């Protein structure tokens, strides 16, 4: 081997070692955070380590391995949600709702184990979604939902995005292990996610369990990756290459392997001790960081479990002791229609005041109108409400036997209660009704913030506090009025001096020339993101042409399906929208874009790039594809037309070959775009 080859080999070996050391540091911090609950670094420092790893792997994609912490998000798998048969059935547990029922279960256990003194384990029953994880030689190979207990659904790609689930087990792992547990959202993280989703105009969830279930069943794993999901292990369905004599021994093995367990798990020497532990956890329930609806008690010794056996539906050696919910009964006096910052209209029950969980409740959320129909709520009904911890009170049941016949049905409003604009349910199967008027005062602050954001009209200085003052003091009533602001208007506000006022006015004036694509995105049309706005602007060239196009024509634009096309037509059909556009045009805002002209040689073709290109960057190549009528994607699928492979291609190359995708080099790509 020559000196040059030896030097390259040393550099390569050094880089591989550096990458692996970085991976181990990240796995160590995952273990400290999720298993031990003892983090050593901040989230920002963790993110810095992950960014460093991704940068190194991008420079050396041949060193990327499936279990690298950087590989949690992959493409959309073809096998998503296919049926998966569990190694052994995932049986449900019998429930005890009172202490008397719990004592009766203990008596049955004692009768089944005469003369023996079993120990017990006590674990919180997390209100989450059941998941079975299969590891082979320590590597995660499959994740499946509980389903009907015998057959679940394949959700491996989504489960890989959950940082609490190790992609590779630590230490000496069994040759094969199917571990079972719950995917959940911590309460504060759920509330934070819902608040963010509401500001962005996206779907919110009624409770953490629904949020976890919805997040785990996303068709696109990159969406799951944005959700703050966590995981606790609580049992196993099958193990090869490792033996346990007790459930507690299994739980401790989970911690060694890097699988988190509930931090409140305890081993108890007697049933009396386990019973006291249940009472202690019930008293702690409102102080937990996640929702738990009870406690699971298990006979600890596996030999005793086997001796007690199973019924047709559940094991005799375990029981779920359910916490009593905070319930109260009251009457629905009215149902109000509340308009959120994203235009979503939410029904809120106005209640006769009642004490529930130590708090006087006078209103409760009904979430959406589909939930109103499901519960059958009418104005005048007597209902059961539930309050758990700090969660917003909710109506859970109608007491139909108390109806008098004078109750009135609840219907979604036809007009927005704030602005009298059109209320719409945009597509079949969507739950939310929303006001889509661009001038709705309930949505104004969010609309103005979005309009001035960097990806839209890019108005520097138009931040949250400034917008809040402009809106709350009635200085502006829609985004067009930004362009009529004077220094006199701004100097009346507490935040502004002459220099700051002039800077904002200059930024607003400069934004007039941003062009049609950014204006369309800034208007906040439902379902129209940056990419769709660019496609529409480049395809039609002017606001005038776009507002005259019918839905069928819009659907012919690549990337604009029926949902987006319908939202665009509906938006421009409103009188309020047409008035707003006239005011923006009068203010001098540019309403045109350089329309695509000439040949579109890449029309209907989808390109994915891997490795380094010599004559252009990847982003430049993707922009070129879009300009010539094609689609640039970041992941390989059966719909990919070409994979363009540069130097040092990554794992996308192997996937493309496996799927039969046409693989071309940079020279071939340049030939295609020059036709």
Tell me the C-alpha distance between 633 and 618, whole Å.
11
Q: Are 411 and 345 in contact (CB under 8 A)?
A: no
658 assigned to active site? no
Helix ranges (DSSP H) in 328-417: 369-375
Q: Are 81 and 66 in contact (CB under 8 A)?
A: no
* SS3 (DSSP) at 183: strand
* SS3 (DSSP) at 329: strand
Torsion of CA 253, 255, 259, 261, to 10 degrees: 110
523: nearest Cα among 562, 579, 596: 579
- Annotate 512-530 with b (16+ C-beta within 10 A) or e (fewer): eebbbbbbbbbbbbbbbee
Tell me the C-alpha distance between 94 and 350, whole Å.
37
Give the active site residue among 54, 111, 125, 219: 125
- Report residue 533 as tokens: 């706005």
Q: How is residue 401 annotated by DSSP?
A: G
For 425-492, give the DSSP string: --STT---EEE--TT-GGGHHHHHHHHTSTTTT--TT--HHHHHHHHHTTS-SSGGGGGG--HHHHHT
Q: Are 397 and 421 in contact (CB under 8 A)?
A: no
- Report residue 637 as tokens: 């699928």
Q: Are 356 and 327 in contact (CB under 8 A)?
A: yes
Tell me the C-alpha distance between 232 and 162, whole Å.
11
Query: Which residues are marked as active site?
Result: 125
């Amino acid at each position: 081997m020559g000196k040059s080859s030896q030097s390259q080999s040393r550099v390569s070996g050094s880089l591989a070692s550096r990458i692996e050391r970085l991976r181990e540091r990240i796995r160590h911090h995952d273990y400290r955070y999720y298993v031990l609950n003892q983090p050593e670094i901040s989230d920002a420092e963790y993110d810095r380590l992950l960014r460093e790893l991704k940068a190194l792997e991008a420079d050396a994609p041949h060193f990327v391995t499936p279990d690298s912490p950087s590989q949690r998000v992959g493409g959309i798998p073809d096998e998503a949600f296919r049926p998966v048969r569990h190694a052994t059935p995932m049986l449900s547990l019998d429930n005890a709702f009172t202490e008397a029922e719990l004592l009766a279960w203990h008596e049955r256990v004692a009768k089944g184990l005469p003369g023996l003194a079993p120990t017990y384990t006590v674990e919180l029953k997390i209100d989450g979604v059941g998941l079975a994880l299969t590891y082979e030689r320590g590597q995660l190979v499959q994740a499946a939902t509980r389903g009907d207990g015998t057959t679940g659904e394949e959700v491996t790609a989504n489960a890989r995005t959950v940082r609490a689930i190790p992609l590779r087990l630590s230490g000496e792992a069994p040759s094969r292990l199917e571990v079972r547990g719950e995917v959940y959202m911590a309460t504060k993280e759920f509330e934070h996610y819902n608040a963010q989703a509401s500001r962005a105009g996206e779907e919110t969830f009624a409770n953490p369990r629904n949020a976890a279930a919805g997040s785990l069943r996303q068709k696109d794993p990159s969406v799951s990756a944005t959700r703050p999901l966590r995981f606790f292990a609580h049992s196993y369905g099958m193990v090869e290459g490792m033996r346990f004599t007790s459930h507690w021994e299994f739980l401790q093995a989970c911690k060694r392997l890097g699988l988190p367990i509930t931090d409140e798990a305890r081993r108890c020497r007697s049933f009396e001790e386990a019973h006291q532990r249940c009472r202690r956890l019930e008293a702690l329930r409102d102080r937990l960081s996640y929702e738990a609806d009870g406690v699971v008690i298990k006979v600890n010794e596996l030999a005793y479990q086997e001796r007690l056996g199973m019924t047709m539906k559940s094991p005799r050696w375990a029981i779920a002791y359910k916490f009593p919910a905070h319930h109260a009964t009251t009457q629905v006096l009215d149902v109000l229609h509340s308009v959120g910052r994203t235009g979503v209209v939410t029904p809120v029950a106005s209640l006769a005041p009642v004490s529930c969980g130590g708090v006087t409740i006078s209103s409760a959320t009904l979430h959406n109108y589909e939930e109103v129909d499901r519960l059958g709520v009418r104005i005048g009904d007597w209902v059961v409400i539930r309050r758990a911890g700090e969660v917003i009170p909710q109506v859970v049941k109608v007491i139909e036997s108390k109806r008098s016949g004078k109750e009135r049905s609840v219907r979604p409003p036809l007009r927005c209660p704030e602005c009298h604009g059109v209320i719409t349910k945009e597509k079949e199967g969507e739950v939310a009704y929303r006001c889509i008027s661009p001038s709705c005062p309930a949505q104004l602050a969010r609309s103005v913030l979005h309009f001035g954001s960097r990806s839209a009209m890019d108005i520097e200085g138009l931040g949250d506090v400034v917008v809040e003052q402009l809106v709350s003091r009635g200085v502006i009533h829609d985004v067009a009025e930004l362009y009529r602001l004077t220094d006199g208007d701004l100097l009346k506000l507490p935040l502004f001096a002459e220099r700051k006022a002039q800077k904002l006015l200059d930024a607003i004036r400069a934004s007039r020339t941003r062009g049609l694509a950014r204006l369309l995105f800034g208007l906040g049309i439902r379902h129209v993101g940056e990419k769709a706005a660019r496609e529409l602007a480049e395809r039609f060239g002017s606001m005038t042409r776009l507002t005259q196009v019918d839905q069928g024509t819009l659907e012919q634009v690549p990337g604009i399906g029926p949902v987006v096309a319908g939202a665009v037509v509906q938006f421009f059909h409103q009188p309020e929208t047409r008035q707003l556009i006239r005011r923006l045009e009068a203010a001098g805002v540019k309403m045109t874009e350089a329309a695509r002209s000439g040949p579109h040689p890449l029309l209907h073709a989808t390109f994915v790039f891997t490795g380094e290109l010599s004559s252009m960057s990847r982003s430049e190549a993707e922009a070129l594809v879009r300009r010539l009528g094609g689609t640039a994607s970041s992941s390989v699928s059966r719909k990919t037309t070409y994979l363009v492979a540069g130097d040092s291609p990554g794992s996308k190359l192997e996937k493309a070959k496996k799927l039969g995708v046409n693989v071309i080099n940079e020279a071939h790509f340049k030939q295609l775009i020059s036709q």
